[in-house]
Amino acid sequence: MSRGCRLCPRSCGADREAGERGVCGETGTLRVARAAPHFWEEPCISGTKGSGAVFFSGCPLGCIYCQNRLIARGGVGREISASRLCDIFFELADQGANNINLVTPDHFAPMVAQAVVQARGRGFPLPFVYNTSGYVTVETLRRFDGLIDVYLPDFKYMDEARAGEYSGAPDYPRVAAAAIGEMYRQVGRVKFVTAPGEDEPLIKRGVIVRHLLLPGGLRDAKRIVAYLYKTYQDAVYMSLLRQYTPVDAVSRHSLLGRPVKRKNYDALVDYALSLGVEHAFIQEGGAVSESFIPSFDYEGVERCR
Ligand code: SF4
């Protein structure tokens, strides 16, 4: 970790080695809030055995409607070393996980990359999934070139004003578009594999871009779908999410304080179909659930004694 951190697009220059916290909320020490099989990702990621999700503390983006506020704002997390992280990967594999799902690793990139290199050196067999808000620099992603099998970025906004108002990041559209381009350059088209004990194929390689539809966000969501399809056609998959849940912090917000209307989500799916999108994950009505938000109780973080 450099002393003046420029790892993410905030480029805030915090001296994290000296214990200073950046805009992401983190110092130079790796912190993890949970490491356990997770069953609420897309079916090709979770499968029936779960995705081995490692939730890192802090976040460079900081959306006002954040669904994982406790962890993103750094409220929870245990300090661990890169080599402990590597051991966690093996423990998740022993629990039967289909892959290792690195959730918001951007601001710990050097240590996470080191742990992945260590794991590969020890013959680690599972794919690594890089799961990010999309607010990540191309330079940071290049540290993972050849290490990551599947990228799972969000594309939250195409509209700079919304990105500024909701996430304090008017540059988000430009940053996310460049990041997805780099991800695609590294891993290419989506590829699946049939795994023993799984009914559905699992993703082996590629990029799945998520978009969480927000209340009042249909127009921007359509722009994102159109951009992705025009740029990548079906080489990159989309995952259109309707699980938005208003949190206390936005309960009085004129738009974000209410759930997404079913008819708006349906309109987004219809729009994708009308463009010719053939491969996209969509959520059924019952998908809006608190079960998507796991307990950040340090499960799997500390070494078993
Ligand atoms: S990763 Fe954190 S400390 Fe580094 S530039 Fe981004 S916000 Fe600042």
CA of 135 relative to ligand 1 center, distance in Å: 11
Ordered DSSP codes for 86-126: HHHHHHHHHTT-SSEEEES-GGGHHHHHHHHHHHHHTT--S
Write out the residue range of the structural domain in which residue 44 sits: 30-292
* Residue 9 maps to a domain: no
- Among residues 45, 49, 76, 1, the alpha carbon closest in space to that of 205 is found at 45
Ligand 1 centroid – CA 107 distance (Å)? 6
- Write the CATH number for 52: 3.20.20.70
Best substitution site from 26, 104, 132 to test ligand 1's pocket, by max atoms within 8 Å of Cβ? 26
Residues with CB under 6 A from ligand 1: 5-8, 10-12, 14, 16, 22-24, 60, 107
How far is residue 140's CA from residue 153's CA, in Å, rounded to a whole number? 14
Flag whether 5 is in a domain: no
pLDDT of residue 68: 84
pLDDT tens, position by position, 276-290: 999 899 987 654 444
User: Which residue CA neighbors atom 6 of ligand 1 most closely?
Assistant: 8
297 belongs to a structural domain: no
Look at the pTM and tell me if it is higher than 0.75. Answer: yes
Please tell me the total count of domains within the chain.
Answer: 1
What are 142-174's pLDDT values in tens digits? 999 999 999 999 999 999 999 999 999 999 999
Contact 219, 232 (CB under 8 A): no
